[in-house]
Amino acid sequence: MDHSSGARSPAVAHAREDRGAPGPGAPAPERRADPARRQQQVRRRHGLAADDPLRAHARRHAGALARALSALQIVVPARILITGAGGFVGAYVARALAARGVEVLGIGPEDAPPAGSPMAAWRRGDVCRPDDLAGVLAALRPGAIVHLAGQSSAARSFEDPVGTFRVNVVGTWGVLEAVRRAAPAARVLVVGSGEAYGPRPVGVRVTESDAFRPVSPYALSKAIADELAALYGEVHGLDVVRTRSFAHAGPGQAPRFALPSWAAQIASAERGSAEPLLRVGNLDVIRDLTDVRDVAEAYVSLLERGRRGVAYNVGRGEGVRLADVAARLAALARVPVRVVVDSARVRPADVPHLVADVSRIAMETGWRASIELDVTLTDLLDGARGSS
């Protein structure tokens, strides 16, 4: 069984071949001196899997594809439901959709949407209960669903693996089952995590055809949720698009995550209510960091142009060492702060290097991250100063 875009197997860790590779009728590559050597150079430069002709074909025809995308008149569904709409990313996705004239609907455990939210309708509900959710879908009749509800902290997943699996795995099943029953024609964007890929060699970008090797309960739960989404698409014919989203941050993110925690500590030091120390975890790791506002635009682009049954990496496609991020954030402080490693903030297991190959989403939707990291850090710190 082929999943057209990503790793899938009963054991989660077996890589699958992508569907959609060019067949015998595909255009042949241009002839050059020593073509084998040139192909190896291109793959190294772009982080391409050696056996992924779809990516190489897309890059050869990037100009034509970009022109075709710009000419498309694509209509986003008029009504879109967001699960976990009261959360950090949900708020940005809601604003991005509302800016396009979409009627945004939300469901979450809260009694009401966040203040200032552009929600046209809100339902309190539990995604782990498909009977209830099917009723919401039947009543609201969305044309698409963005599934964001979940527990998104790898560190917290070690403390509460059962709760993490309930919302991330059972919750994803609940959404897919409710869609199957009540809205089988709707597109479903299932938001996953690049953490599911696990450790990779330094300098290697992860492609969607790489195997999952999760090293935390959170990462494992997202790998299983990805498998569930692919299964419902194949077996039940649902219009499912999956993301493997890499690290992202921005104003409004909870301080249990690294970057907003650092911003909050600096803001407290500036006010004089805390020591001028920046307590951090493991800084000797490389991450692919994207602004949440860019990520929200990526999700909209996948609702518009994502291929049915396909998974997409969402990230910047560039790695940055967290030690450099901490130093850049400390340099923005209005008082001198000293960076201190706190063993309590170090995960039991971590991934030393995790950077996305984002050629698929760029080639197929035209989306690329555009907000620079320093802008994200400045806005994070300004938000922390204003929230005190």
Distance CA 272, CA 310 (A): 50
Task: Please check whether residue 152 lies inside any domain of the structure.
Answer: yes
Task: Please check whether residue 241 lies inside any domain of the structure.
Answer: yes
Range of the domain at 210: 71-248+291-317+357-369
Task: Please check whether residue 23 lies inside any domain of the structure.
Answer: no
Task: Please check whether residue 35 lies inside any domain of the structure.
Answer: no
Task: Please check whether residue 137 lies inside any domain of the structure.
Answer: yes
Task: Please check whether residue 29 lies inside any domain of the structure.
Answer: no
Task: Please check whether residue 235 lies inside any domain of the structure.
Answer: yes
Q: How many domains does the chain have?
A: 1
Angle at 236 between CA 229 and CA 128, to 5 degrees: 50
Span 368-375, mean pLDDT? 97
Residue 305's pLDDT is what?
97
Give the CATH number of the domain where residue 90 resides: 3.40.50.720
pTM over 0.95: no
Residue 115's pLDDT is what?
87
Span 89-99, mean pLDDT? 97
Task: Please check whether residue 144 lies inside any domain of the structure.
Answer: yes
3-state SS class at 244:
strand
Span 114-135, mean pLDDT? 94
Residue 70: band (very low, low, confident or very high) from pLDDT cuts 50, 70, 90: very low
Longest dimension (CA), the chain: 68
3-state SS class at 108:
strand
Q: Determine what percent of the chain is predicted with pLDDT higher than 70.
A: 80
Residue 178's pLDDT is what?
98
Number of continuous H segments (helices) and E segments (strands) in the chain? 14, 14
